[in-house]
């Protein structure tokens, strides 16, 4: 587990109140842990093993030449849905068709991420809510639920607009749960979608970086940092216990 410096962790706690301050005066220096009441997961590449070849999908949608230029202008990743948003309807429909084909192939090979079921069991034992936000379609979320056997609620797919990285879906979940964003953690494998969405909403963020791709020089100049980074979901359990107040 890599614990990144987190301003949010120290200062955004809802319990950082005057009574907490008097607590600190007595016991100096250790701030109270932030309360955690919900965890919101990304689906593809986070709760499921990544099987969609996104670069191949972008290339198929944009064409080789445009793909290369868009890629060089977007070092932290391509937002394909945003990119095709203003295309003329006919061209856009074709693009959605290509995306749907890639997603369907991904579904055929859907596998649950190791550690996902254990983590959800742990959250249940602490009565911490579980939500899901994906840029994939509702049919994929339905199939995932069927295979996984544990429900995430709310589970927002790309029919809910605007999509991640807009904070709207995460804020919607917080208001449904009647909790504050700073009592929630967003966990995902995408810096540009999941971490940005979490940060904009004011939630804690945890980046799942299984392969260490975010330590590559491509990301050296990217300012955005998650609060936490793990290389597998099985690390999340101890991260939560060490850094948060998990009392129901
Ligand atoms: Mg993902």
Residue 122 is part of a domain; what is its CATH number? 3.40.50.1000
Q: Which of 44, 79, 189, 227 is catalytic?
A: 44
Of 69, 86, 108, the residue at which a domain comes to its end is: 108
179: CA distance to ligand 1 center in Å? 24
If asked whether residues 96 and 25 sit together in one domain, one would say: no
Using DSSP, state whether 38 is helix, strand or coil.
Answer: strand
If asked whether residues 14 and 61 sit together in one domain, one would say: no
Size of the chain in residues: 248
Sign of the Cα torsion 214, 150, 183, 169 reads positive
Q: Residue 230 is inside which H or E element, if any?
A: strand 228-230
Using DSSP, state whether 212 is helix, strand or coil.
Answer: coil
If asked whether residues 124 and 27 sit together in one domain, one would say: yes
Tokens of 235: 């690390």
If asked whether residues 10 and 84 sit together in one domain, one would say: no
Q: Which of 42, 79, 189, 209 is catalytic?
A: 42
| C-alpha gyration radius of the chain | 19
230: CA distance to ligand 1 center in Å? 14
If asked whether residues 232 and 161 sit together in one domain, one would say: yes
The whole-angstrom separation of Cα 184 and Cα 35 is 8
Under 8 Å CB-to-CB from 238, ≥6 apart: which residues? 1
The whole-angstrom separation of Cα 204 and Cα 217 is 25
If asked whether residues 217 and 165 sit together in one domain, one would say: yes
**108 flagged as catalytic:** no
188: CA distance to ligand 1 center in Å? 6
pTM: 0.79
If asked whether residues 118 and 189 sit together in one domain, one would say: yes
Using DSSP, state whether 134 is helix, strand or coil.
Answer: coil
The whole-angstrom separation of Cα 114 and Cα 196 is 25
44: CA distance to ligand 1 center in Å? 4
**44 flagged as catalytic:** yes
Helices (H), 63-207: 64-73, 80-84, 89-108, 116-125, 138-148, 168-177, 196-201
- Which pLDDT does position 210 carry in this prediction? 94
DSSP 48: B
43: CA distance to ligand 1 center in Å? 6
The whole-angstrom separation of Cα 46 and Cα 30 is 32
Under 8 Å CB-to-CB from 185, ≥6 apart: which residues? 36, 38, 39, 40, 198, 203, 204, 205, 206, 240
If asked whether residues 164 and 118 sit together in one domain, one would say: yes
Instruction: Give the pLDDT of the chain (248 residues) as one tens digit per residue.
Output: 455 544 444 334 444 444 444 444 445 567 789 999 999 999 999 999 988 888 999 999 999 999 999 999 987 789 999 999 999 999 999 999 999 999 888 888 889 999 999 999 999 999 999 999 999 999 889 999 999 999 999 999 999 999 999 999 999 999 999 999 999 999 999 999 999 999 999 999 999 999 998 988 878 777 889 999 999 999 999 999 999 999 87
Closest by CA position to 200, among listed 215, 189, 184: 184
Tokens of 76: 């932290």
Domain range for 237: 2-50+112-245
The whole-angstrom separation of Cα 169 and Cα 156 is 7
- Which pLDDT does position 6 carry in this prediction? 44
45: CA distance to ligand 1 center in Å? 4
- Which pLDDT does position 121 carry in this prediction? 97
156: CA distance to ligand 1 center in Å? 14
If asked whether residues 69 and 185 sit together in one domain, one would say: no
If asked whether residues 104 and 116 sit together in one domain, one would say: no
Query: What is the count of structural domains for the chain?
Result: 2
- Which pLDDT does position 51 carry in this prediction? 82
If asked whether residues 83 and 188 sit together in one domain, one would say: no
If asked whether residues 135 and 179 sit together in one domain, one would say: yes
């Amino acid at each position: 587990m890599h614990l990144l410096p987190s301003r949010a962790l120290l200062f955004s706690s809802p319990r950082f109140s005057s009574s907490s301050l008097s607590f600190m005066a007595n016991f100096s220096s250790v701030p109270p842990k932030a309360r955690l009441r919900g965890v919101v997961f990304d689906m593809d590449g986070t709760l499921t093993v990544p099987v969609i070849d996104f670069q191949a999908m972008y290339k198929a949608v944009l064409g080789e030449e445009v793909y290369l230029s868009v890629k060089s202008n977007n070092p932290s990743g391509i937002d394909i849905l945003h990119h095709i948003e203003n295309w003329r309807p006919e061209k856009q429909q074709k693009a959605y068709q290509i995306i749907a084909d890639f997603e369907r192939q991904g579904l055929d090979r859907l596998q649950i991420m190791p550690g996902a079921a254990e983590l959800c069991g742990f959250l249940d034992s602490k009565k911490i809510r579980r939500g899901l936000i994906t840029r994939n379609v509702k049919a994929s979320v339905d199939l995932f639920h069927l295979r996984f056997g544990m429900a995430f609620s709310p589970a927002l797919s790309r029919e809910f607009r605007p999509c991640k990285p807009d904070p709207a879906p995460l804020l919607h979940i917080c208001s449904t749960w009647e909790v504050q964003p700073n009592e929630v953690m967003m966990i995902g494998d995408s810096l540009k979608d999941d971490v940005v969405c979490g940060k904009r909403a004011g939630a804690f963020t945890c980046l799942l970086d299984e392969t260490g791709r975010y330590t590559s020089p491509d990301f050296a100049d990217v300012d955005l940092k998650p609060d936490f980074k793990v290389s597998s979901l099985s690390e999340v359990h101890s991260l939560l216990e060490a850094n948060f107040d998990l009392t129901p």
